[in-house]
């Protein structure tokens, strides 16, 4: 039976999740908690399936090894090194990604 990968969040990714929560919570705290929980559950799937996400369209991001998962309008950027999956950012798809990543 294969070992699970370790999933780690960079501090900036944790900040992203908190910001997403706060933004949604302004209208509905319950929906905010539910959405962040969905994001986290999707990310935790990477423990067993680290290549679940696709290679991003941007060549520069592909070149450095990013993969991306999509949940609704949010993009989860992560890299896999050895047996560790590191979540770098969780961003709304409407943001100008070139300036952020």
Which domains are seen in the chain, by residue range? 6-100 (3.30.2310.20)
Mean pLDDT of the chain: 89
Sheet harboring 6-9: ordered strands across? 6-9, 84-92, 74-81, 67-71
| Residues 6+ away with beta carbon under 8 Å from 69 | 42, 43, 46, 52, 53, 75, 76, 78
93 token code pair: 């798809």
Give the whole-number percent of the chain exceeding pLDDT 70: 89
Other CB atoms within a 10 A radius of the CB of residue 85 amount to: 26
For 1-45, the pLDDT digits (tens) are 568 999 999 999 999 999 999 999 999 999 999 999 999 999 999
């Amino acid at each position: 039976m294969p070992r699970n990968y370790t999933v780690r969040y960079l501090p900036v990714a944790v900040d992203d999740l908190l910001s997403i929560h706060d933004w949604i919570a302004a209208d509905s705290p319950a929906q905010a908690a539910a959405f962040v929980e969905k994001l986290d559950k999707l990310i935790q799937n990477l423990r067993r399936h680290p290549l679940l996400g696709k290679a991003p369209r941007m060549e520069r991001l592909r070149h450095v090894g990013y993969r991306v998962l999509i949940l609704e309008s949010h993009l989860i950027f992560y890299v896999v090194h050895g047996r560790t999956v590191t979540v770098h950012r969780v961003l709304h798809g409407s943001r100008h990604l070139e300036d952020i990543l």
